[in-house]
Amino acid sequence: MNTPPTGNLLRDTHKMFAVHAQFKPNMTVKVEAGNFLSSGAIVEFPGATSQAITAPSAPATKKFVLFYISANAQLRVLESPAVANNPVLPTVLPETVPLAFAAVKFGDTSISDDMIFDLRPLFVVGSKVPLHTEIDMQSRGTPDQHPITAITGLTQALAAKLTEADITSELDAKADSTGTAEDSFEIGEGGTGTPTSNKILKFNRGALGFAGIKINEAEDQLEYSVDGTNWTPLAAMTGTDFYTKAQSDDMLALKAGATALTDGLATKVSATALTDGLALKADASAMTDALALKATVISVTDGLALKANASALADKADAATALVKNTISGSFTTNDGKTITVVDGQITAIA
């Protein structure tokens, strides 16, 4: 690398890195020798033959093939995708020396000079200065061989970022998912100009949707909803919609009194029950009187009937007595073993 460059290369820069078809064309190209500067040092390229290029496999397609020199003086190839029309030239990589590109189409079996397009006039040949040193390019896999200072502006950009302590402090200033210790909470913080979008404070109610309070910017009013669909202006609320603390306290006291009154009345006889009871009592008195009267009537009736029966029975008894008196005589034994003597119907002795 540090040996004097070949004099002919410096005298005829037009030939440096020139890309040609092979003497007997095939799918490779020949690249002439050349040199370039890298970090103030001259890097020589001795010339080389490229790798074999493969033609597109699909009919009626073509692609571009870029030939370039890497920062460590190696011939490299970069190909674009094969397409039917207007293939795109591969992107030129940084810290490389692009030399030429070839247009290769389906069915090509060799690369000729008429297929090669020179790119060297687009660049200053012999003055390539990479951002990395040669040592960086040769030892990129070694730890600490690529410091952040090698990337322009990276140190400053990192210094401008928040530190872990800054992030922690910022997060501490935010509300937790369970609430905030602040006395106020601002929705739409930092907004400027005339607001156009509504802002809603939501309360999730599961299957019932959500309740919420909304600022309706179009109507310039606060609204509330219990279902998330129907919104009512807060200004439209009346005394039937809300009460003051004093009114709430009075209603609670009245409710307590009403409860006590209800409980008290529940222990008393209701007016209806009392009325029914009195009516029943009147009916009972009437029934008692009726029963007494009925008993009296029955007694009189039964007495009269008994009296009538008694008269008839007496008559019958007299007739029977007369009959017995004229026809019955003899001795009779009772169930208890006594003997009764009867003469012409008259009992004369009991032994």
Does the pLDDT value for residue 107 go beyond 90? yes
Contact 43, 1 (CB under 8 A): yes
Q: Are residues 263 and 287 in the same domain?
A: no
**Residue 45's beta-bridge partner residues?**
34
Q: Measure Cα distances from 146 to 133, 137, 170, 225 in Å.
A: 10, 9, 33, 61
Contact 53, 65 (CB under 8 A): yes
> 39, exposed or middle or buried, with CB in 10 Å at 0-12, 13-18, 19+?
middle
Q: Give the CATH number of the domain where residue 76 resides.
A: 2.60.40
* Residue bearing the bigger pLDDT, 25 or 6: 25
Q: How far apart are CA 212 and CA 227, in angstroms?
A: 8
Q: Are residues 110 and 17 in the same domain?
A: yes
Residue 184 tokens, joined: 């106020």
Pairing of strands 75-79, 232-233: unpaired
> 31, exposed or middle or buried, with CB in 10 Å at 0-12, 13-18, 19+?
buried
**Residue 98's beta-bridge partner residues?**
68
Q: Which among 120, 133, 121, 118 is positioned nearest to 37, based on CA atoms? A: 133
Q: Are residues 275 and 257 in the same domain?
A: no
Contact 69, 96 (CB under 8 A): yes
Q: Tell me, yes or no, whether 117 lies in a domain.
A: yes
pLDDT recorded at residue 133: 47
Q: Tell me, yes or no, whether 187 lies in a domain.
A: no
Q: Which domain holds residue 224?
A: 195-237
Q: Are residues 264 and 318 in the same domain?
A: no
Q: Tell me, yes or no, whether 303 lies in a domain.
A: yes
Q: Tell me, yes or no, whether 181 lies in a domain.
A: no
**What average pLDDT does the chain have?**
77
Q: How far apart are CA 27 and CA 116, in angstroms?
A: 12
Q: Are residues 101 and 78 in the same domain?
A: yes
How sure is the predictor about 229, in pLDDT bands with cuts at 50, 70 and 90?
A: confident
Does the pLDDT value for residue 288 go beyond 70? no
Q: Are residues 13 and 121 in the same domain?
A: yes
Q: Tell me, yes or no, whether 308 lies in a domain.
A: yes
Q: Are residues 263 and 277 in the same domain?
A: no
Q: Are residues 212 and 286 in the same domain?
A: no
Residue ending a domain, choose from 130, 164, 182: 130
Q: Tell me, yes or no, whether 22 lies in a domain.
A: yes
Residues 6+ apart with CB under 8 A from 56: 62, 63, 82, 104, 105, 106
pLDDT, tens only, 56-105 = 999 999 999 999 998 888 999 999 999 998 898 888 877 788 899 999 99
* Beta-sheet strands, E only, within 164-226: 199-204, 210-216, 221-225
The half-sphere exposure of 220 on its side-chain side, counting CA atoms within 13 A, is: 1
Q: What 8-state DSSP symbol labels residue 256?
A: H
Structurally, the chain folds into a number of domains equal to 4
Region 188-198: mean pLDDT is: 86
Q: Tell me, yes or no, whether 321 lies in a domain.
A: yes
Q: Are residues 277 and 258 in the same domain?
A: no
How sure is the predictor about 106, in pLDDT bands with cuts at 50, 70 and 90?
A: very high
Q: Tell me, yes or no, whether 151 lies in a domain.
A: no
Q: Are residues 218 and 262 in the same domain?
A: no
Does the pLDDT value for residue 186 go beyond 60? yes
Residue type, 181: A
- Would you put residue 252 in left (φ > 0), alpha (ψ -120 to 50) or beta? alpha
Task: Please identify which residue in the block is written with the tokens 């690249």.
Answer: 31
Residues 6+ apart with CB under 8 A from 17: 31, 32, 33, 34, 45, 69, 97, 99, 120, 125
Task: Please identify which residue in the block is written with the tokens 């979008």.
Answer: 197
Contact 350, 338 (CB under 8 A): yes
Q: Are residues 63 and 81 in the same domain?
A: yes
Task: Please identify which residue in the block is written with the tokens 């609430």.
Answer: 179
Q: pTM value?
A: 0.37
Q: Are residues 282 and 338 in the same domain?
A: yes
Q: How far apart are CA 187 and CA 198, in angstroms?
A: 11
